[in-house]
Amino acid sequence: MEAISTAVTLVVLFSALIHASWNAVLKSGSQKLIDATLMSFFGGIFCFIAIMFLPIVNVAAWPYIISSAIIHVVYFVCLANAYKHSDLSHAYPLIRGMVPPFVALFAFLIIGEELSLAVLGGIFLISIGVLLPGKLNKGEITLKSTLYIASTAACIIAYTMVDGTGVRLSGNAASYVTYMSFIEAIILVVVMLFYIGKKDILSYASSRWMLCAIAGIASILGYGLVLWAMNQAPIGVVSALRETSIIFGTLIGIYFFKEKYGKKRLLTALFICLGVFLIKMY
């Protein structure tokens, strides 16, 4: 199997930084469902403009686009509630750590994507590194928080498999993520307008709209980079590399949220870096 290129590795790592950043924005807000709605709304505006300059995706990709948009709506609702009921240092590692092993397994079972022992070892090490913070810093664990964390992880696994296949049928990764994100934005905003109400959303948005706009657009660009990478390398490898976002999340927590992790975070970083090394060198 051809080794993953340095360019693809760097692109996925940059996407991981973007992912950790917009998750930190979502966690920082007092009304996380509204934050998720604002991110989606401004991301949708960005996609509407971008659609005018991008080619239409192939017909074969549309069932995947619609399916992914629906899954992403459920994902944002679950993620917002996971951060509402859990600490960032508990929820984020557990959510991300559940993903790589299952994605690699499903990629093998569904589309026959073979992975070398070195890559499987790298995925395993990354998963351990991502899971450790959640196990060592449990915070306040409740049945509700556990269910939201598990549901969020399940959504990530589902849309990763859907998008990993759909983007390869689309003919253009940028078009795929743009159309999917635009449809997702419409669904989520409409649902939240009925669930929360226009007045409450507008009142809260007055102080958070700029930050949420930046985060929403960044999340789309970051995911677009991941989908592009899935066209260049195995889905399981890309998914595992993206989980290095925990390193960036740790740095954000230390320098912006003033969270103290200590030696436990150094152990986490070691496992993740070893996993990345194995994946890069297979």
Q: Kindly list the distances between the CA atom of residue 217 and the CA atoms of 26, 27, 36, 45, 148, in Å, as whole numbers in the listed order.
A: 13, 17, 12, 9, 25
6 CB burial (10 A radius; 0-12, 13-18, 19+): exposed
C-alpha 189: how far from chain center: 19
Query: How do the domains of the chain map onto residue ranges?
Result: 6-281
CA-CA distance, 96 to 152, in Å (whole number)?
Answer: 9
Beta carbons within 8 Å of 48's beta carbon, 6+ residues apart = 182
pLDDT digits (tens, 9 = 90+) for 63-82: 999 999 999 999 999 999 99
pLDDT tens-digit profile of 29-48? 899 999 999 999 999 999 99
Task: For 224-263, write each residue's pLDDT tens digit.
Answer: 898 888 878 887 778 778 878 888 877 787 778 776 665 6
Q: What percent of the chain has pLDDT over 70?
A: 92
Q: Can you give the pLDDT at residue 111?
A: 72
- Residue 10, Cβ density class (10 Å: 0-12 exposed, 13-18 middle, ≥19 buried): exposed
Section 128-156 average pLDDT:
77
For position 139, what pLDDT does the model report?
53
Non-local (6+) Cβ contacts of 214 within 8 A are 25
Amino acid of residue 282: Y
Residues 161, 110: Cα–Cα separation, whole Å: 9
The reported pLDDT for the residue numbered 133 is 64
Return the pLDDT at 136: 62
* Tokens found for residue 115: 């992975």
Q: How far apart are CA 250 and CA 259, in angstroms?
A: 9
The distance from CA 169 to its chain's CA centroid, rounded to whole angstroms, is: 21
